[in-house]
Homo-oligomer: A and B are copies of this chain.
Amino acid sequence: MSALTAERLRQMDAPDLRRTLDELYADYIGCLDEERFEEWPEFFTDDCLYKIVPRENFDRGLPLATWLCESKGYLRDRVVAIRRTSVYGPRWIRRQVSAMRVLGWQGGLIEVRANYVAFETLLDEMTRVFNVGQYRDLVAVEDGRLKFKEKICVFDSLLVPNSLIYPL
């Protein structure tokens, strides 16, 4: 398959665009669920913004974020931290995404919303709901594929999970 260009993206018909975005989100979640964290920063453009923020703060415009990564370098630092983390017990996160909406174009970027759910399973415990929220994303073409220029994860709980070790 030839590399994706911004031009080709703009000319896609609606079913093709939606499929392409569906694939992006499925690939993103597959990468995280399978714990291929080293590949995770490659889902972002070089110049990017990644945030995890409680809905209360987001709605009020408060700047406080639970996670804040302002470039791909920050994302890579996160991955190093994840790999070095040993204070937490082993656990698996399984993510679901649905209700994806393409809001339209903003400059050369596609504005997308989707709902996510993360389930957490600790060893010898039953699976539980860990975190649910909304992805508020700006998607661009870079290096021949779709990447996140901006990804804001707005989660519903006021409680900051103390075990937010892995990306959403």
Chain A residues with a Cβ under 8 A of chain B: 14-16, 18-19, 22-23, 25-27, 29-30, 33, 55, 92, 94-101, 113-115, 117, 119, 121, 123-134, 156-159
Contacts and interface: CB of A to CB of B under 8 A. Distances in A.
Nearest to A25: B99
B126 A121 contact: no
A128 B127 CA distance: 9
Contacts of A129: 119, 126-129
A132 B93 CA distance: 10
B14 A55 contact: no
15 contacts: A22-B100, A26-B100, A26-B114, A27-B101, A29-B99, A94-B117, A94-B134, A97-B99, A98-B98, A117-B119, A121-B156, A121-B157, A121-B158, A127-B132, A129-B129
